[in-house]
Structure 1
Amino acid sequence: MAQLEQLQVFQSMHSSPNTRLHRSAELGDGLAAAVWSNRHDARDYQAPSHHTLSCYLAGGTGTFRRESPHSKGAPDKLCILPAGHQSEWVINGEIHLAHLYISQEQFALAAVNLLDREPRELELRESTFLDDAQQARRFRQLSSLDWSEPGERLLSSSLAHGLISHALLNQVGRRAGLRLNGGLAPSLRRRVRDFIQANLAEPLSLGQLASLCALSEYHFARMFQLSFGLPPHRYVLAQRLLQAQRLLRSSPLPLGEVALACGFASASHFSNRFRQALGATPGQYRQAFAAR
């Protein structure tokens, strides 16, 4: 994900003299979080390139959108702000809230992995002042953790993934009037996805994946990105890292064996890739979840 300061919703909040940033952190996997307070302010969000989930932790009873002045916020109310949306907000009184910022790539991965759907078929439905007790509890737990402590930051990432999965299952719908052009047929998409999942421990080449669909490497790469929301090599790496996280949480395999089981050439290569994606080493990740 982009640096926090480059995220439009974060920028808009941070640019106001009335806001206070209590904490923020990049959680890895294209996710970031922040806890804010604000008072007597107005904020506009103009077509951000990322999705934002928010939860009011305290106050907010004087907060509303300009086009809906009679609908007000309250503690535990949630807002879903999809990428590309536009909204204008008025804050009367004080508010304390948490934000979760989600890259479109992470949304695409979740759509494929959780829903077995093409990301471009789906849209995150915008919602203001939503009641969802389960999501509010997750946000409160996320906000209570110390993101500067590596183990708790990793637990925060796990909670953030739970927030995304819940939103995908409850707040996602098919894009209205959609007419898809290009991309892999659903049967081919599943064939490629299942083949990758079954062969994560093996070297996987673009030509090997293209042959599953009887396409040239160039044409396959273009069709794959349309259907999966990211290029083949990045999708394969993401699946290997997800598998590594599952093994680190649930198995006693030595780190070198986890690396080989997930298709990494060496323990050092595995460690470098894992740290780049999650901001922690595989050993730190295992330790964080062993302590739960």
Structure 2
Amino acid sequence: METSAIHVSEVLSQTSARLWRKGTAACGLAFAEWEWRDAEGWANYDQPDHHTLSVYLDGGDKIVRADRQLLGGGPDKFCLMPAGHASRWHVGGPIRMFHLYIDPAVLAYQAHAAFDITPRRIDLQDLTFVDDPALAMIVRGAVLPLDWSDLADRMALESACHLLLHRLLRHHTNRATTEVIKGRLAPAVQRNIIEYIEANLSSALKLEELACRAKLSTFHFAKMFRASVGLPPHAYVAKRRVDRAKSLLHDGKLELAQIALACGYASQSHFTRAFKGEAGMTPGAWRRVQEVRLRGLGD
């Protein structure tokens, strides 16, 4: 799902809105961060073939949904625009917003997998300027801090986007939903997944890829993996990458840039940030500490 072929994204690209960054998380999911500065303007959406979740990050108090005569946007407010809807928006002041574009088939699949609901019985609500602190927290805490272009963050992005889908299905559809829980991974499946992760830490591991190997939906795989291992898949992979990096740093044969690539990081700078977040110091500092300890043991 490319943002260049998405109706809402196409409309915004023809206005004064500026596209700060964009990305994809999995088949049928794409996202973008937009900013509309001081220029006034209109954005009219006419029966898009995708759902759009729009979360306001800054501003928004001067945006009006003209077709419903609604005013009341602001930071952390969100709008939900289902596929097939029509809306007219007037922007009268600065606004920065996050968009998640959702293929209806993906939402239908998640509805069936997570809640055992027949897809045709699920309809997203058409919502404007709504408060949902938990949803906004996912965007600000789990999506925006990630590097959307770095393959090492791909699984974390997929996980965050699936959390957003789960939130929409649980709280913003036309019917109440009850989550279906399936327990833990079978020992043989867990062993297979762990071995696959270990063998592919240098690659861009995807949540869908792991779920497919376990013959589960991404939703149930993530739930069952966490129940089995104690960490979400993306957090487990991130920890194992840092553990692998520590081993290579201790070995002392590779440069930092080589270790970054060997552990699945797209750049040395991303490796440094991830390592410091887990270990509390940069890779170079960690290596020096280990060297000092080894010298102390040898004295």
TM-score normalised over the length of structure 2: 0.60
Classify 1:4/1:239 alpha carbon distance in 2 versus 1 (closer, same or farther; 3 Å). farther
Match in the other structure for 2:121: 121
CA drift of 1:151 comes to: 2.2
Q: Does 1:58 align with 2:52?
A: no
Partner of 1:76: 76
Q: Is 1:37 paired with 2:35?
A: yes
- Distance of 1:157 and 1:73 partners within structure 2: 27
Distance in 1 (CA, whole Å) between partners of 2:113 and 2:216 is 13
Provide the rounded CA distance (Å) in 1 between the counterparts of 2:71 and 2:221. 45
The separation in 1 between residues aligned to 2:215 and 2:86, in whole angstroms, is 33
SS in 2 for 1:169: helix
**Any conservation in 1 of the 2:58–2:75 contact (CA below 8 Å)?**
yes
Deviating more after overlay: 78-87 vs 150-159: 150-159
Measure the CA separation in 2 of the matches of 1:104 and 1:237. Answer: 24
Distance 1:166 1:45 in 2: 24
Q: Name the residue aligned to 2:148.
A: 147
How much does 1:157 deviate?
1.6
The equivalent residue for 1:19 is 17
Change (3 A) 1:124 1:239: farther
Matches within 5 A, 1:161-240: 161-174=162-175, 239-240=215-216
Corresponding residue of 1:159: 160
Determine the C-alpha separation between the residues in 2 that align with 1:133 and 1:108.
24
Given that residues 49 and 83 in structure 2 are in contact (C-alpha distance below 8 angstroms), is that contact kept between their aligned partners in structure 1? yes
Shift of 1:236: 7.9
1:173 deviates by 1.3
How big is the shift at 1:148?
1.1
Following the alignment from structure 1 to structure 2, what is the Cα–Cα distance between the partners of residues 59 and 32? 23
Q: Deviations over 1:180-230 (max 9, x none)?
A: xxxxxxxxxx9xxx9xx99xx8xxxxxxxxxxxxxxxxxxxxxxxxxxxxx
TM-aligned CA deviation for residue 140 of structure 1: 1.4
- Once residues 33 and 152 of structure 1 are traced to their aligned partners in structure 2, the CA distance between those partners, rounded to angstroms, is 14
For 2:78, give the aligned amino acid. Answer: L
Deviation by residue 1:93-149 (Cα, 9 ceiling, x = unmatched): 110000011111210111101111111111001100000111111111212221011
1:8 lines up with 2:32 in the alignment: no
Select the structure of larger CA radius of gyration: 2
Q: Which runs of 5+ in 1 are unaligned?
A: 175-189, 202-234, 253-282
Q: Gaps (5+ residues) in structure 2?
A: 190-210, 231-262, 266-270, 279-299
The change in CA–CA distance for 1:67 and 1:245 in structure 2 (over 3 A counts) is: closer
RCO higher in 1 or 2 (8 Å CA, sep ≥ 6)? 1
Once residues 81 and 48 of structure 1 are traced to their aligned partners in structure 2, the CA distance between those partners, rounded to angstroms, is 9
| Structure 2 Cα separation of the partners of residues 70 and 28 of structure 1 | 33
Check whether the contact 2:55–2:78 (CA below 8 A) recurs between aligned residues: yes
Q: Partners in 1 of 2:101 and 2:115 — Cα distance?
A: 20
Change (3 A) 1:107 1:101: same
Aligned length: 206
Deviation at 1:47, TM superposition (A): 0.9
Specify the alignment match of 1:28 in structure 2: 26
Percent sequence identity over aligned pairs: 32
1:149-186 C-alpha deviation (Å, 9 max, x unpaired)? 12223212211110110110101115xxxxxxxxxxxx
Are 2:49 and 1:46 aligned? no
RMSD across aligned C-alpha pairs, in angstroms? 3.5
Q: How far, CA to CA, are the matches of 1:238 and 1:97 in structure 2?
A: 36
8 Å contact kept, 2:2–2:30: no
Would the aligned equivalents of 2:82 and 2:125 in 1 still touch at CA under 8 Å?
A: yes
Q: How many Å separate the matches in 1 of 2:134 and 2:3?
A: 26
